[in-house]
Structure 1
Amino acid sequence: MESVLPAASFLYWVGAGTVAYVVLRVSYSLFTALRVWGVGNEAGVGPGLGEWAVVTGSTDGIGKSYAEELAKRGMKVVLISRSQDKLNQVSSEIKEKFKVETRTIAADFASEDIYDKIKTGLAGLEIGVLVNNVGMAYEYPEYFLDVPDLDNIIKKLININVLSVCKMTRLVLPGMVERSKGVILNISSASGMFPVPLLTVYSAAKAFVDFFSQCLHEEYRSKGIFVQCVLPYFVATKMAKIRKPTFDKPSSETFVKYAIKTVGLQSRTNGYPIHSLMGSIFSILPSWIYLKIVVGVHKSIRARFLKKTKKN
């Protein structure tokens, strides 16, 4: 009987400690959620960082919405994208709506010989914010060896999703370090948080952006530079092929409205409350369950796409 009492006492304190730990974790998570999504950091991004913001892939979707939000906050904006016609249109819209100066640089990030041109276009500008948004995804989920025009797709995905982030950062970061202030926002994807079979190269490229951002943030935060990786789930954009926004698939305007408030609070964010909840749920799932769900979803999307294209 005497030996049973110490054992029972031990189990009691183990149980009490476990409950206390869970309560503390839940309380901390709720406090963090309230701080980030309820309060936010409205003053985190603006002209105080520097006169100019640079946004790649700025004529559609998330990139365009970041450009508009930064202009709304009083920043002059350099728009960089492939089509000069689209750049002119977005530039005119921003000038008219927000009364700020804009510049445009037409550049195809699928190429590697564009960065001297971009460097010349940015020369002399006090750049406070860089948004590395330009991106390319698969046309549809597919097994690696069955991706149409695979060699070309590999090159384009790496140039657009990986090389652009490194090269643009290389161009802009020295000026930020010299002034001891600046923000770099690297738009990755939830596909970079965990492996996504049937989107293999895209998932791996976005994982690179995540790791690159985390490393860069640790290297330069003591120098006044805040680097954030944004990892959204589905957003209603042309690239995602989602036309109508829903509760869990917000418009790019809604997404950016929430995401920009996390700057200065989270160096790694899903950018939107529902996406943050989704990320938390997936992170606690056993990997085999997660992979089973993801593969099943993408096999279904693949089958629908192939059936539709055969009919056409």
Structure 2
Amino acid sequence: MAAVDSFQLLYREISRSCSSYFDTLALVGALYTASRAIILLSDCCTLVRVHFLPRMIPSRKLTQRYGDWAVVYGATEPVAQAYAEELARHGISIIFVTADHTGVRDTAASLSQSYGVETLIVLADFSLDQAASKPIKEALRGRDVGFLVNCVDESLASPQSLLEMPEQGLLDLVNKNVAVATLMARLVLPGMVQRSRGAVVNISSGACCRPLPGRVTLTASTGYLDHFSRALHHEYSSKGIFVQSLVPFEIATNRQQPSSSSSSSLPPSSREGWFVPKPGVYARHAISTLGVSNRTTGYWPHTLQYGLMRCIPEWIWVLGSRVLVGSS
């Protein structure tokens, strides 16, 4: 009994001497909990402000806010085609810039017939360096171009190590997704600055947020486009130009994936769902965020995905990515 009494006495003495430390730790814990709660509340308010309020509150027409014409580069991608269609739905005429007109000819004709807008296809071979800018400058002359849409090449999403890529293919991808996207902004911005209005939308990928083993070119190209957009926004927002970086996650497509057999199966990204929207659904959500947020996923379930991804430590993310790449 004496031993028990002495232990209780010792415990009381230790507790009395450490009470100030316990109070300090409790205060630190309360401050940390409060800070996380404030961050969570701020994220929820941002989610509502960016993705829900613009769709509920009517705003001025896009043609009045930015201009009558849009330049779309990378329109062979389903997301860019859907974005162009959404712009046409708002009465905006489209200029498609492409190296091969076969991929956008039907799209241009469909938009003209469905929405009564003008469409123009500009063939530009960017392998000719500065010579490719001449037809683009001619197409821009005399037109109220209020939009520029650049879209990253979706072929980068297939798992492939850097050493497996052929040298010429690597140069073409960097030229298309880095150099040409930058050049397009350089060509369109002077007219926007002169009119003190315009919007530049760069559609990259959520892959820019975290490294992905096996997809080095994807993370690098989308990372450049994302940082380029954010820097460009800070540089030209004071001149009335809104620059937006769209970083979507998985979007369903109708593309078919070639296989060794005579039949072909749809790739995993063709499976539609709540977190994998159709390109048209994504475009409607994304265009409502124009002028509201300069960097967003464009689709609120993707924003939830991005929020969860930020909570995962990078080493766990990289480990999971390696497992997925190895199993694909």
Instruction: Report the TM range for the smaller structure's normalisation.
Output: 0.7 to 0.9
**Against the structure 1 CA distance between its residues 226 and 45, is the aligned structure 2 distance closer, same or farther, given a 3 Å change threshold?**
farther
Deviation per CA, 1:26-56, whole angstroms, max 9, x where unpaired? Answer: 1111111112222226637710111111111
Deviations 1:243-285 (A, max 9, x none): 3422221111011111111122221111212221222222221
User: After alignment, is 192-201 or 207-216 more displaced?
Assistant: 192-201
1:286 corresponds, among 305, 313, 323, to 313
Are 1:228 and 2:244 counterparts? yes
Secondary structure of 2:155's partner?
A: coil
SS at match of 1:74: coil
| Residue 127 of structure 2 is aligned to residue 132 of structure 1 | no
Segments of structure 1 that go 5 or more residues without pairing to the other structure are 302-312
Q: Report which stretch shifted further, 256-265 or 1-10.
A: 1-10
Q: Which amino acid aligns with 1:63?
A: A
CA RMSD of superposed structures (Å): 2.2
DSSP-derived class of the 2:104 partner? helix
Shift of 1:99: 1.4
**Whole-Å separation in 2 of the counterparts to 1:60 and 1:143:** 23
Cα distance in 2, alignment partners of residues 52 and 290 from structure 1:
41
1:11 matched to 2:38: no
Equivalent pairs, count:
299
Q: Which residue of 1 aligns with 2:93?
A: 76
Aligned with 1:274 (options 284, 287, 301): 301
Aligned to 1:52: 69
Contact 1:183–1:225, Cα closer than 8 Å, also in 2: yes
Distance 1:27 1:217 in 2: 26
The CA deviation string for residues 77-126 of structure 1, in whole angstroms up to 9 with x for no partner, is 11223332443321221111111122121335566442222222222211
Matches within 5 A, 1:30-109: 30-40=44-54, 43=59, 46-48=62-64, 49-108=66-125
| C-alpha distance after superposition, 1:187-226 (max 9, x if no partner) | 1111222212211122211111011111111111111111
**Alpha-carbon separation, structure 2, partners of 1:103 and 1:61:** 18
Residue 119 of structure 1 is matched in structure 2 by: 137
1:218 aligns with 2:234: yes
Which secondary structure state, in structure 1, belongs to the residue aligned with residue 91 of structure 2? coil
Name the % identity. 32
1:187 aligns with 2:203: yes
Q: Could you tell me how far apart the structure 1 residues matched to 2:52 and 2:61 are?
A: 17
Secondary structure, in 3 states, of the residue corresponding to 2:270? coil
Gaps of 5+ in 2: 1-12, 258-266
Contact 2:145 2:192 in 1 (8 A): yes
User: In the alignment, which residue of structure 2 is the partner of 1:197?
Assistant: 213
Equivalent-residue separation in structure 2 for 1:45 and 1:79 (angstroms) = 22
Tell me the secondary structure at the aligned position of residue 253 of structure 1.
helix
Q: TM-score, normalised by structure 1?
A: 0.88
Say whether 1:251 aligns with 2:274. no
- Partners of 2:206 and 2:127 lie apart in 1 by 22
Measure the CA separation in 2 of the matches of 1:111 and 1:257.
Answer: 35
SS at match of 2:322: helix
Please give the secondary structure, in 1, of the residue aligned with 2:245. strand
